Amino acid sequence: MEQRMRRATRGRVAALAAVGLMLTTGFVAPAGPVQAADTNLVVNGGFEDGLTDWFVNNGNASDGAQLSATSNAYSGANAALVTSRATTGSGPMQDLSGKVQAGQAYTLTARIRYENESGPATKQFFATMHYGGGTYTNLVSVTATKGQWAQFTGTFTIPTTQSVSTARLFFETPWTSTPSTDPALHLMDFTLDDVSVTGAAPPAPASKTIEVVGKLPGEHNPLIGHKFGADGFGLVHDGRVYMYMTNDTQGYAPNPTTGVSPGINYGDINQLTVISSADLVNWTDHGEIQVAGPNGVAPFTANSWAPGITKKVVNGVEKFFLYYANGGGSSNVITGASPLGPWTSERTSTLIDGRTPGAEAVAWKFDPAPFVDDDGQPYLYFGGGPASTSMPPAERFNNPKNIRSIELGDDMVSTEGTAAVVDAPVAFEAGHVFKRQGRYYFSYSSHFGGNDFGGNQQPLPGYPGGGQIGYMISDGPMSWPKETYAGVLFPNQSQFFGAGTGGNNHQSVFEFGGRYYFTYHAPTLNKRINGNTTQGYRSPHIQELTFNPDGTIQQVVGTYAGVEQVRDFDPYRVFEAETFGWSKGVATTKVDGSSAQFGGAAPNLVVRDIDNGDWTALSSVDFGDDGARSLTARVRALATGGQIQVRLDDVNGPVVGTVAVDSPAGQWAEVTATLDGVSGVHDVYLTYTGSAGADLFEIDNWSFAADTLDLPVTLSASTRCVGGKAYVAVQARNDHDAPVGITLETPYGERSFVAVAPGANAYQSFNSRAVSLSAGSATVRVTGAIGGHDVTTVRTVQHPAGTCGG
């Protein structure tokens, strides 16, 4: 880290020399890039919203300070006070990534003051941009007089060659490697106010929507075709498999003309992606968890890679523990109340780092993989990277001893004892443990040789080649000598998927329905977008894992076919629209509210960016012998004339129903279509049509209604006047022989009732807030069970027009 800081310092000096007079007050930029309309890119620069959008610079592990709001402001009610600075760079920071552009000129202004009694009479301050890694550029400087407000005023131009995928603005004093030797001179407290950076408006974000068919109909790998995901880790809970992945989509930004994105930048990834499935083919997108970064669950971490998750009852409560790599230097854990959260951090510092006993010699303290044994004892496996240079070259190559195992505390967020060496042959990273028939299996990804591993060495017979998944078998979860090595579990993925799909891998194993499954990643979706030249964006895959009679594993073969669907899809319930086996041209996004399928604690996503010709599809949907009567979709129309066509077995198959998305534009509503001849098991394609060049609608969820499964309900609706305003009164009586849920929906609001008893009514009067209203309709959704099947019945009821007042 000190070397990186020294390199960064030289970069800062060079940058200062390059901008020269640019840093002086009143500097006028020479002819060159044209400055755009005056757009302020800084949010809350006057700190009137407290510290919103500001945080302490965390570019290096040694940085640290306290940031607080103060009323001692230059203008307005608030300013930002920074105290207890650990380094000269430990100052207020705001992330301008995605806002500033290379080749553009910007004007920066700010007010700054320091009052430290023992400090110097004057002090220079810098406004600095951190472009990622060791690239720092001082933008504007000012020399302040103690006790007086000083003003930054200057113009800077970002070089056309500068990458701005990361651009973080912060305020600091001149760098020195040993500021603690004279903190009064180097680490004084200071106050910042009225920060602005004006210039070119932020560019429109590049569309991340993947327009190609990334997962071909009939194939089951990759698992999803509308986004990327790497380092998949499977968790089985309540009949579903949840897959947690590094969010490779976060940095994906394809060029609008070429369709090619810059290469993946791991340093920008601070989210994890979650998907789940009950059948291993139709996957529900649960979106991203904002784990790290200033707005993350654990803001003291900067990255989130390579997740591992497990569940355990702690103090009588079942909790879910999601571990992740905070870059290469440490690992951490957050806690969830369910597989989908909500997530909290029980820690204020990283779980695994240089302080972890037994991990001091591990170069990369990342890739944490939890395992809870049958007796309830939890363990964590982590580590990887270059071998210790103190080892002989041949040993560095064949037995680098760079992975560790350690016991976790009963709370799952602390460690116990000293980490033990996992002596995995040719190990690189991605350690993972599972248990089968009383034996422990440790799998890992192998290295590619090179100077980090002793140079040009000869691997021992049977040891893994570069980028393969090896495995070991042991009788204990903490005992992994090299003699427990059992062979190669999975060759490099490029052997199966060809050019452009090589590189290292990351795997997990889970048991589901009595079978074992192996997860891995490969840039197969990236390949289908761009051909054999890929940019490192990876996609999740699953293959079944089978064993020999002696317990060894049969080597896995990677295929696009993937695994068999383990059960047919049940359509007779409300399910999320972002559930599909295959798709073309759509994207997903989070919206306010809770998930209709997964409950109030789960995030709610919708399918968006739906254009004419796009589609989604479900694999092996079982409509039963009697078949389906109708399909209801919760939609938000964005253009007129949109339709959803229901087709069977092929994207060009027969249309068995058409949903007209004719609801009011911009409002969520339910639309229904009658289906014709839909029975038995079919793949179902939902094809979207409408005006070319327009986003047609968004979809929240679906529900099919069976011909013979219908919940009886009696409806009425009327118009009332209260206080001179027109109200729509809606009533629904439960005529079923068991309790049901009832939701009443009108253009003026909705209300849900849980467990309405047989013969009881659900009633609500909705205020239109108008003196009169036209005749219209209300929608009533009834949910319950018939013969063990979850059933949803959707009905509409008309209400008359009404006028109130004189």
> What CA–CA distance (Å, rounded) separates 47 from 244?
37
The DSSP H or E segment spanning 2 is helix 2-19
Distance CA 569, CA 684 (A): 10
CA gap 529, 532 in Å, rounded: 9
SS3 649: coil
> Do 737 and 758 form a contact (C-beta atoms < 8 A)?
yes
On the question of a cis peptide bond just before residue 342, with omega within 30 degrees of 0, the verdict is yes
Q: Find out whether the peptide bond into 368 is cis, omega within 30 degrees of 0.
A: no
The whole-angstrom separation of Cα 235 and Cα 254 is 32
d(C-alpha 121, C-alpha 144), whole Å: 9
Give the ranges where 119-169 is alpha helix by DSSP (H): none
The total of other beta-carbon atoms located within 10 Å of residue 78's CB is 19
Which one-letter DSSP state was computed for residue 19? H
Rounded Cα–Cα distance for residues 198 and 181 (Å):
38
Question: Side chain identity at 528, as an amino acid letter?
Answer: R
Cβ 611 vs Cβ 688: under 8 Å: yes
Pairing of strands 642-648, 681-689: antiparallel
Active site residue 429: yes
Structure tokens at 166: 């990361």
Rg (CA), the chain: 30
Is 737 among the residues known to form the active site?
no
Return d(Cα 29, Cα 300) in angstroms, integer: 38
Cβ density class 216-252: b for 16+ within 10 Å, e for less: ebebbbbbbbbbbbbbbbbbeeeeebbbbbbbbbbbb
Options 95, 231, 367, 700, the catalytic residue = 231
- Distance separating alpha carbons of residues 351 and 370, to the nearest angstrom: 12
Residue 544, both tokens: 């079944």
- For residues 305 and 325, the answer to whether their CB atoms sit within 8 Å is yes
First to last CA, the chain: 78
Tokens of 779: 């929608």
What are 670's two structure tokens?
């339910």
Q: What span, in angstroms and rounded, lies between the C-alpha atoms of 468 and 506?
A: 10
- Which element (helix H / strand E) includes 11? helix 2-19
Q: Which of 429, 452, 576, 700 is catalytic?
A: 429
| CA pair distance 281, 567, nearest whole angstrom | 9
Instruction: Tell me which residue of 710, 645, 695 sits closest to 209, measured CA to CA.
Output: 695
Beta partners for residue 553, in sequence order: 547
Phi and psi at 157, nearest 5°, equal -120, 125
Tokens of 692: 């070319």
Q: Which amino acid is at 228?
A: F
Catalytic residues: 231, 429
